[in-house]
Amino acid sequence: MPMHRISTEEKIIHIQGHPVKLQKKNMKSLRLRLIPPHGEIRVSVPSWYSDKEAAQFVLSRWEWIMKQKKTIKAVHPLTQQNYNNGDTILFLGEPYTITIIETSRPGPPQIKGDQIIIEEKANSLPHQRKQKIESWYRTKMKDMMDSLITYWADKMGVEPQEWKIRKMNTRWGSCNTVSRRIWLNLELITMKPEILEYVLVHELAHLLERGHNKQFKSLMDRFLPSWRSLNIELRGGLPL
């Protein structure tokens, strides 16, 4: 499932010194999004909109845009180079402050209150801490997905042959309808459980309908009625 769709007509315009990707489509509404990992600004407008009108729309939401750009690193922690003491990361949609404790016998990360405790040896390097946290993320996500896939596959009447977790730059999930293999983006574990579940149901639905046509949307409406609002939230959209 792509994080964003490619427009038939797009260009870069500059607003307040920031590049904005302007997409003109055959649509009636306006849509504004910030795309991880760097908070790229994208605006989609009807094909008859002028560049000036599109820029005015973006400027009307500028305060929201700047606020989102400041927090996008915390919202998408897997884009960080390191995980330093005092940094904030997310787990299942909740923020936790990293607290590093030096010890001779480090264990896995642990959540205590609003902190995530990272035990490590005194000579540990930042990339080792990053690997430890991402390994912990992967374990937690796998534990959740084992039961979720069993539940939803049975409810939807599908039989995926295999599913895996991996870091992906351009997709939240994907489904190979031939091999019946599903991939899920590791970063989903940083989001609230409903988002992770939505992406899973989306990919499982492709085992019933390959495209994103009316039949596919009808399947999503039947199995997960809240999918449209979750889709907007996942893509960083601003409801209009």
CATH number at residue 199: 3.30.2010.10
Q: What is the pLDDT of residue 3?
A: 47
195: helix, coil or strand?
helix
Output the pTM of the full model: 0.69
Considering the domain architecture, whether residues 152 and 192 belong to the same structural domain is answered as yes
pLDDT tens-digit series, residues 204-222: 999 999 999 999 999 999 9
- Residue 162 and residue 214 in one domain: yes
Per the structure, the complete domain to which residue 230 belongs is given by 136-234
CA distance 70 to 128: 26
Q: Does one domain contain both 143 and 223?
A: yes
pLDDT tens figures, 95-114: 788 999 999 889 899 999 88
Residue 3 lies in a domain: no
Residues 158 and 223 in one domain: yes
Q: What DSSP state is assigned to residue 209?
A: -
Residue where one domain finishes, among candidates 39, 57, 74: 74
95: in domain: yes
Angstrom CA distances, 16 to 54, 56, 63, 157, 231, stand at 14, 11, 12, 51, 29
> How many structural domains is the chain composed of?
3
Q: What is the mean pLDDT of the chain?
A: 86
**Same domain, residue pair 141 and 154:** yes
Does the residue 131 lie in any domain?
no
